[in-house]
Amino acid sequence: MARARLGRWREAAAGLALGTDLSTDLGAGIGTRHWWLGLTSCLLLCGTAITLALDVPLIPAAGRAPLTPSQREALSGQFIAPLAFGGRTGATTRPDPALVVPLAEIPERPRIELTARTVRGRSLGATLKRAGVGASDIDAVEGLLRGVVNASAIPSATDIDLVLGRRETRSMPRPLELMGLRAAFDLRVAVSRVDGALVLKRIPIKIDSTPLRVNGLVAGGLDRALRSAGVPASAAAEYRRVMGYVVDMQRGVGKKDRFDIIVERDRAETGEVRYGGMVYAALDRAGKEKLEVARHKFGGRQEWFRQTGESARKGLMRTPVDGARLTSAFGMRFHPLLAYSRMHQGVDFGARHGAPIFAAAAGKVAFVGPHGGHGNYIRLQHSGGLATAYAHMSRFAVKSGQQVSQGQVIGHVGSTGVSTGPHLHYEVWLKGKPVNPMTLKFIGGTQLSGRDLNNFQGELSRLRSLAVTGADTPEPVRPGRRPA
């Protein structure tokens, strides 16, 4: 009986052992009987491992002395570390002192190639000397260039390519073997040593001298239109000045008018561009006569003539200041500073501070200096009882008693005297009485005739036939308006 019961217990224990999984997933079935059995098994295993680990004896090891600096340096090639922390790309092999022969002096390079650059205020010879060229070679180079180009006329920031050869001793400069520079816009020169002597070779640069022609719509303003069309700043200023001889640049230019300008331009085959002076200017006024002026040599100098052969420089310039706008007319007005009405004996042109002021006509400087409320003041005396005056200048460009030509710069815009801001007060006096400069008309000037007129008309026809190379200036589209 007892044996039968013990057998049944053994079979039950064996079955329990076979059905128990010690690798319990403690993340599933939390709180169940199976989960608690797995947790108990895990804790028992961990406790057994910790108990056995405390009884493991330590293995004795011999201590190593720290590396000396020389040992660390020798082993640095084997470190696995960034270069910034001492790592290298290979071990360093120290040479055998018995096999090393010291040099008497450091060997020199057989030749040196360098580039020198000219600086304003420093001569070509000084630039070469600074680069290490000897005095005898400098004299030879200047002698070779003397018959080709003026060395003092070489612009600043010009690169000079140099090759210096081997010298015999350190006490003497290296000989010049080769030199190349851009001596002029259309010329490059090369100086080389042949059989011990320096020789010069001219290398011409092809130049395309096709003028630049730009035209477009005035639209929002002549100055903005000229800049947008790519006209150089100097040519744009010359256009305003020359056209000021034949049209009132303040009231005679409309938004629908079209400008046309031709400027001298040289393009080198190496890519550089050089602009010259203006040779043609025109203003096609909507519903009015087209105004054209062209440059022509007459009487030994360049003059501006209209399409009829009549000189553009006659009478008075309508606007004797660059980039101005009419701000106050001739006649009675309420003075903004004195706060009462009085006669305004001239006209006011608002312009930026420092803008150039031109002589309205050829004449003699009668007065230069301070003049009460006019501030810095200039008065010019012209022929026929005519005089002009210019007030509120920032500075002068002429002296008293000096002869000036029409369009010559005599001063610059300012705000001296009784003034609310930078502007030019311009007066015209005829036989001692002030007159309105905007309504005064004069006749006279040179008129081409005969062969001179034929030559001028032929040149004008050639200029008119030139192709337009500048982009047209589009008319701005106002908000709410569709473009046509």
Please give the pLDDT value at position 77. Answer: 63
Tokens encoding 354: 């420092």
Asked if residue 475 lies in contact with residue 257, where contact means CB atoms within 8 angstroms, the answer is no
Please give the pLDDT value at position 264. Answer: 93
Model confidence at 190: pLDDT above 60: yes
Q: Which DSSP helix (H) or strand (E) runs through 425? A: strand 423-430
pLDDT band at 397 (very low <50, low <70, confident <90, very high): very high
Q: Tokens 């319990």: give the residue.
A: 24
pLDDT band at 484 (very low <50, low <70, confident <90, very high): very low
Asked if residue 389 lies in contact with residue 429, where contact means CB atoms within 8 angstroms, the answer is yes
| CATH number of the 112-204 domain | 3.10.450.350
Taking only the tens place, the pLDDT of each residue in 214-262 is 988 988 888 888 888 888 888 998 898 888 878 877 677 888 889 999 9
Distance between CA 231 and CA 275 in Å, rounded? 10
Taking only the tens place, the pLDDT of each residue in 26-42 is 778 888 888 888 888 88
pLDDT band at 474 (very low <50, low <70, confident <90, very high): very low
Please give the pLDDT value at position 191. Answer: 93
Taking only the tens place, the pLDDT of each residue in 430-464 is 888 888 887 776 545 567 888 888 998 899 999 99
Mean pLDDT calculated for residue range 315-325:
75
Sign for the CA dihedral angle at 344, 350, 356, 359 comes to: negative
Taking only the tens place, the pLDDT of each residue in 126-161 is 999 999 999 999 999 999 998 788 888 888 889 999
Model confidence at 317: pLDDT above 70: yes
Sign for the CA dihedral angle at 252, 255, 257, 258 comes to: positive
Model confidence at 472: pLDDT above 60: no
Asked if residue 191 lies in contact with residue 141, where contact means CB atoms within 8 angstroms, the answer is yes
pLDDT band at 171 (very low <50, low <70, confident <90, very high): confident
Least confident of 322-326, 335-339, 425-429: 335-339
Taking only the tens place, the pLDDT of each residue in 109-128 is 888 999 999 998 888 999 99
Please give the pLDDT value at position 329. Answer: 77
Please give the pLDDT value at position 448. Answer: 81
Proportion of the chain above pLDDT 70, given as a percent: 83
Distance (Å) of CA 35 to CA 17, 18, 46: 16, 17, 17
Please give the pLDDT value at position 109. Answer: 87
Please give the pLDDT value at position 133. Answer: 92
- Answering whether pTM is above 0.95, one says no
In this structure, CATH architecture of domain 207-314+443-475: Roll (3.10)
Asked if residue 76 lies in contact with residue 86, where contact means CB atoms within 8 angstroms, the answer is yes
Mean pLDDT calculated for residue range 405-428:
88
- Most confident option among 177-186, 344-353, 435-444, 447-456: 177-186
In the chain, domain spans: 112-204, 207-314+443-475, 325-435
Amino acid at residue number 94: R
Least confident of 204-208, 270-274, 418-422: 418-422
Please give the pLDDT value at position 373. Answer: 85
Model confidence at 325: pLDDT above 60: yes
CATH 2.70.70.10 fits 325-435, yes or no: yes
Helices (H) and strands (E) in the chain, counts: 8, 23
pLDDT band at 84 (very low <50, low <70, confident <90, very high): low
Mean pLDDT calculated for residue range 61-71:
78
In this chain, the answer to whether the domains covering 112-204 and 207-314+443-475 adopt an identical fold is yes
Amino acid at residue number 83: L
pLDDT band at 347 (very low <50, low <70, confident <90, very high): confident
Asked if residue 304 lies in contact with residue 245, where contact means CB atoms within 8 angstroms, the answer is yes
Please give the pLDDT value at position 202. Answer: 93
Least confident of 166-180, 217-231, 328-342: 328-342
Please give the pLDDT value at position 368. Answer: 93
Mean pLDDT calculated for residue range 457-474:
77
If one compares 241 and 83, the residue with the highest pLDDT of the two is 241
Model confidence at 395: pLDDT above 80: yes
Asked if residue 387 lies in contact with residue 379, where contact means CB atoms within 8 angstroms, the answer is yes
Q: Write down the mean pLDDT value for the chain.
A: 81
